[in-house]
Structure 1
Amino acid sequence: MSETLAAARPVRAEQRARWACTTYFVLTGLTLATWTARIPAVKGDLRLDDAQITIALFALAAGTVLAMQFVGRLADRFGSARVMVPAGVLLGLTTAVLGLAWNAPTLLAGLLLLGVWHGTVDVTMNAHAVEVQRHYGRPIMGSFHGMFSVGGLLGAGLGALAAHFQLTAATNFLVVGIAVTVLAAVTGRALLPAEEHPPQEKPSTSRGVPAAILFLGALGFFCSVGEGSVADWSPLYLHDTLHTSAAVAPIGYAVFSVTMAVFRFLGDRMSTLFGPVVLVRCCGLVAGIGLGTALLLHHPVAAIIGFGLFGVGLSCIVPQVFSAAGNRDPQRRARDLAQVSTLSYGGLMAGPVFIGLVAQGFGLAVGLAIPAVLALLVALSAPAVRPRRAG
């Protein structure tokens, strides 16, 4: 009897750790979406112009990338949970006071800090998710990333409701920030103990980034180029190129977002059934062929279906890329994930800009064909996510 109870305890601990880590994925998606949803209100309240908003957005991105440069070593040394919990609390507190900004410089400072804590939580929660997945002994990474999407939808919905009821952005930020702070502090106690993430016993002799990690980062970059480009350019493609109404134009991105979220939850089962290599190869083909065919058909219905198929395809790739990076070398898990996260985040920032430049010279359909081609390259590169053999 005692042996049965002893065997049950770690299972319950792993379940609690999974839900705690899931909460952090929801909270990061919630926080970012809350800020995004209230950008128009902040712009109006502070009387900012487009250039000032652009600089503020750059500050958020810069803070995220900056944090990713050093958080990996901290997490590898002290354990992902020990870094993630205080960063999560600070993410909530920064969100809560973000609405107190009274001009462009104070908003810029607040967003820079928000980016730092977001980047820190992003790397550590992925490192912790890989560790929880290792304890489970089966793929569960897709469900974590799916809950990030749920958090984003929740934040956008709450922001829309707040705007509808004419609540100020400051009130919206305060309520969400307090909730994030409390949940991060409370659920952090259920994460796997720091002992599960021991410091390195033998310092790595490699001073650069391993080639395998750079390659995985490139795959993440390709997917993020597609995700960012669809977010920024699909409404304009439907409205300006295919001449749909303003009401129809956002539907492409909405369908993309929903299919991505839904299929992320299905990705874990598909990874178990078919393996990560087959899953990534099939997803890359669905994304590339689906979007590419839709662009060739040049019809609004085809475009919306194509964006939906692109979401289906991209949904499972990044979780498999992160799993492969996190499992490559447990001694430098967080550092490897930080590098992959940095490259992936670079795709979100650089992709839409590059697509816009191509669209100016050759048309938006040609610009959006680039993410389709990149998805096909991911399909060809699927063996990169094959799990390493023990020993």
Structure 2
Amino acid sequence: MMKPVAERIATTAVFLANGLGIGAWAVEVPRIKEALSLSDTSLGVALFCFALGAIVAMPLAGRLAARFGSGRVTAFLGVAFVLALPLPALVPDFALLCAVLFALGAANGALDVSMNGHASAIEGEWQAPIMSSFHAAWSMGGLLGAAAGAALQANGIGTMGGLLLPDVVIGALILTSAVFALRDIGPRAVTSASGFTLPSAGVTKLAALAFLCMLVEGAVADWSAVFLRSALDTQASAAALGYSSFAFAMAACRVVGDVSVRRLGAGVVVASGGLIAALGLALVLGYPNVVTACVGFALVGIGLANIVPVIFSAAGRSTTTPAVGVSMAATAGYAGFLVGPPLIGLGAGFLGLRLALCALLLAALIVCLVGGKAVSRAGVEQAV
């Protein structure tokens, strides 16, 4: 059987393009906040609309991909993402910002599901674990997008240019991929898209694991610098080293993630990843200083790097078509990413931030204890 090389390259380009867009958007958030004179609370509400749009769209994207084909739907949603990305720079007030961020979040969330479902279908044809390579491309795109956005700002480019110029590159990547190689792979399941079906116990467990992993990721993104600044009484630039270490370690480990899965097995990667993340969190929370912050958060990035790709791959194998399983896991994961930061904030108000962050340690340990068996069972069910 011929491996779908062109389809893999095209789908990798879509992952890179999506990460590039999210990185460029993240850099522009402070300038949009300043331009519209938003309070922290108002900005939080607007960003919640982005996440809400994603959560609403993700299950729908899974059903669309199952019915019309993941390649075709990925191309369509990629174009929708390109059209939506510059919109936040155009809005004159808070209400319209919430509306366009809901639309951008919906486009991004739906694209996330369809491209992961398509990647899972390609992985099935490839007959080897390759999901981490797609997520590595997304992480690299995010780093490139953030770097490009910072460079554009340093050269006096406004918010519109900061979003539109990267968007031109994103559009070129997606359109080229769509024209040449975003072809449907594997069977379509029209019947699965025509009505509501409850997920199996195996998919539910995988979705719960995705929820826990991305809860940790979201909380680290929003609270690592706050914790380090309070614990170390240091400057914001030094406190940001923790998340920087986390992000770079995650991106680097995703590059070698497929090799790890092939050599060690998906179950070992998930179980050991949860343990490594837990050890990193224990180091940071137990002995907070600049060195342990860099090492500890890097360990968290190393541990979490390939768990979500493995979970998505397992979920894609556990349903009639990959996009359906991926949509369930991705929706749960995105919900975890959304609720993690406010849950930590709520816990910090009652227990203090350090004790509240211990919940992340517990989540990583649960992934370690339960995750390996869950993803291994998905592989067995595929083979039966």
Give the TM interval when normalised to the shorter protein.
over 0.9
2:235 corresponds to 1:245: yes
Shift of 1:204: 9.2
Task: Specify the alignment match of 2:138 in structure 1.
Answer: 148
Shift of 1:378: 0.6
User: Identity of counterpart residues, as a percentage?
Assistant: 36
Decide whether the 8 Å contact of 2:57 with 2:107 is kept in 1: yes
Task: Specify the alignment match of 2:342 in structure 1.
Answer: 353
**Given residue 43 of structure 2, which amino acid in structure 1 is its aligned partner?**
I
Shift of 1:159: 1.4
Please, which of 159, 165, 174 is the counterpart of residue 184 of structure 1?
A: 174
**Given residue 64 of structure 1, which amino acid in structure 2 is its aligned partner?**
A
Task: Specify the alignment match of 2:219 in structure 1.
Answer: 229
Please give the per-residue CA displacement for 1:290-334, whole angstroms capped at 9, x wherever unaligned. 2213322233322221111111100111111011000112x2421
Which secondary structure state, in structure 2, belongs to the residue aligned with residue 194 of structure 1? coil
Work out the CA distance in 2 between the residues paired with 1:171 and 1:55. Answer: 25
Please, which of 130, 146, 162 is the counterpart of residue 172 of structure 1?
A: 162
Please, which of 352, 370, 382 is the counterpart of residue 363 of structure 1?
A: 352
Work out the CA distance in 2 between the residues paired with 1:52 and 1:103. Answer: 11
Which secondary structure state, in structure 1, belongs to the residue aligned with residue 189 of structure 2? coil
Please give the per-residue CA displacement for 1:332-351, whole angstroms capped at 9, x wherever unaligned. 42122111111100111111
Equivalenced residue count is 380
Work out the CA distance in 1 between the residues paired with 2:30 and 2:21. Answer: 16
Work out the CA distance in 2 between the residues paired with 1:39 and 1:157. Answer: 14
Work out the CA distance in 1 between the residues paired with 2:104 and 2:182. Answer: 25
Q: Which moved more, 1:184-193 or 1:69-78?
A: 184-193
Q: Which moved more, 1:29-38 or 1:341-350?
A: 29-38
Task: Specify the alignment match of 2:88 in structure 1.
Answer: 98
Which secondary structure state, in structure 1, belongs to the residue aligned with residue 256 of structure 2? helix
Task: Specify the alignment match of 1:254 in structure 2.
Answer: 244
Decide whether the 8 Å contact of 2:63 with 2:192 is kept in 1: no
Q: Which moved more, 1:63-72 or 1:200-209?
A: 200-209
Work out the CA distance in 2 between the residues paired with 1:125 and 1:222. Answer: 22
**Cα separation, partners in 2 of 1:205 and 1:27, compared to 1, 3 Å:** closer
2:89 corresponds to 1:123: no
**Given residue 326 of structure 2, which amino acid in structure 1 is its aligned partner?**
L
Please, which of 259, 266, 273 is the counterpart of residue 276 of structure 1?
A: 266
Task: Specify the alignment match of 2:9 in structure 1.
Answer: 19
Please, which of 126, 129, 137 is the counterpart of residue 127 of structure 2?
A: 137
Q: Which moved more, 1:132-141 or 1:240-249?
A: 240-249
Task: Specify the alignment match of 1:43 in structure 2.
Answer: 33
Structure 2 length normalisation: TM-score? 0.94
Task: Specify the alignment match of 2:76 in structure 1.
Answer: 86
Please, which of 191, 198, 206 is the counterpart of residue 216 of structure 1?
A: 206
Q: Which moved more, 1:312-321 or 1:284-293?
A: 284-293
Which secondary structure state, in structure 1, belongs to the residue aligned with residue 380 of structure 2? coil
2:329 corresponds to 1:337: no
Shift of 1:69: 2.4
Work out the CA distance in 2 between the residues paired with 1:252 and 1:202. Answer: 44
Q: Unaligned stretches of 5+ in structure 1?
A: 1-6
Decide whether the 8 Å contact of 1:96 with 1:178 is kept in 2: no
Decide whether the 8 Å contact of 2:344 with 2:357 is kept in 1: yes
Decide whether the 8 Å contact of 1:80 with 1:197 is kept in 2: no
Work out the CA distance in 2 between the residues paired with 1:353 and 1:224. Answer: 13
Shift of 1:245: 2.5
**Given residue 241 of structure 1, which amino acid in structure 2 is its aligned partner?**
A
2:300 corresponds to 1:325: no
Shift of 1:145: 0.8
Which secondary structure state, in structure 2, belongs to the residue aligned with residue 146 of structure 1? helix
Task: Specify the alignment match of 2:380 in structure 1.
Answer: 388
**Given residue 370 of structure 1, which amino acid in structure 2 is its aligned partner?**
A
Work out the CA distance in 2 between the residues paired with 1:92 and 1:46. Answer: 23
Shift of 1:85: 0.5
Please give the per-residue CA displacement for 1:153-176, whole angstroms capped at 9, x wherever unaligned. 111111111211121101111212
RMSD: 1.9
Please, which of 353, 356, 374 is the counterpart of residue 363 of structure 2?
A: 374
